[in-house]
Amino acid sequence: MKDRKQHRYEYCEDCNCVTSIPMMEETKVGLYEKVICNCCGQLIVESNQLPKKEYVHIKKTWGYFSNKDGQVDTINVCETCYDKWVATFVKKVNTKEATELV
């Protein structure tokens, strides 16, 4: 049986999605698990520490019309790799300025 871990949920107003971010078990300040960039392998967050840099967390549950039906993929990409990745896109990423920073 897998360990059940606490998660922090973030809501994205732009796309109306909710992202689940795993956290360490029952900590007072809600610290993260170890996070490593899937592209370059760089350590982004050490266990029991706050993030040292920004990163993108993507969780995708594949649906019926894919070859991955029922598969859940999770990736973390550091800001440097993200910039390189999106530079290869044919359609530019939709961006806007945040009016309130949390």
Q: What is the pLDDT of residue 32?
A: 62
In the chain, % of residues over pLDDT 90: 36
pLDDT given for residue 29 in this prediction: 43
3-state SS string over the chain?
Answer: CCCCCCEEEEEECCCCEEEEEEECCCCCCCCECCEECCCCCCEEECCCCCCCCCEEEEEEECCCCCCCCCCEEEEEEEHHHHHHHHCCCCCCCCCCCCCCCC
Give yes or no for residue 87 having a pLDDT over 50: yes
> Is residue 40's pLDDT more than 90?
yes
Please give the model's pTM, rounded to 2 decimal places.
0.62
- Which pLDDT score is estimated for 26? 39
Domain ranges in the chain are: 7-86
